[in-house]
Amino acid sequence: MIIRKMIKPVYAHCDIPCGIYETDSMRHAAETCLRMIEKIEALGELDSQDKWNNFVRMVDIKEKHAQRVKDEAYILWSDYFKPEHLTRFPQLHDVFWRLAKQASIVKQTVDKAACEQLLHNVTEADTLFTDSKK
């Protein structure tokens, strides 16, 4: 009897490791979330099918980009940062935990202040990342 193995695609940043890490993608995704909120606010009353359609599409884009922020943050947190970074940056876990939590809040809401806080959290993570290279 032949047993067939289930082959599933595996998605990862790079576990070789490649050594190529950046925060630009995370920032771009967070800025996209904020821009979608601004566009949603500009819609005004959802009094037509076109406005409803645009609202739904903008929410979808916001949620996908908030998830992208989380994905990029997790890559840095788990793959780039090493134990020696914790010695230099004892706040590292807290910064990335708050960033991930804020991205979840952005996914769950249509709140400009939540997006602005997400950008602030991304800036904190970016600062740690930049300082870790010095």
- Determine the Cα–Cα distance for residues 20 and 54; give it in Å rounded to an integer: 36
Q: What's the pLDDT tens digit per position in 38-64?
A: 999 999 999 999 999 999 999 999 999
Do residues 66 and 40 make contact, with C-beta atoms less than 8 angstroms apart?
no
Say which residue the tokens 């990862």 belong to: 12
Q: Supply angle C-alpha 90, 24, 116, rounded to 5.
A: 75
Report the first-to-last Cα separation within the chain, whole angstroms.
58
Q: What's the pLDDT tens digit per position in 93-124?
A: 999 999 999 999 999 999 999 999 999 999 99
pTM assigned to the model? 0.86
Please report the domains of the chain, with CATH numbers, ordered by start residue. 24-132 (1.20.120.400)
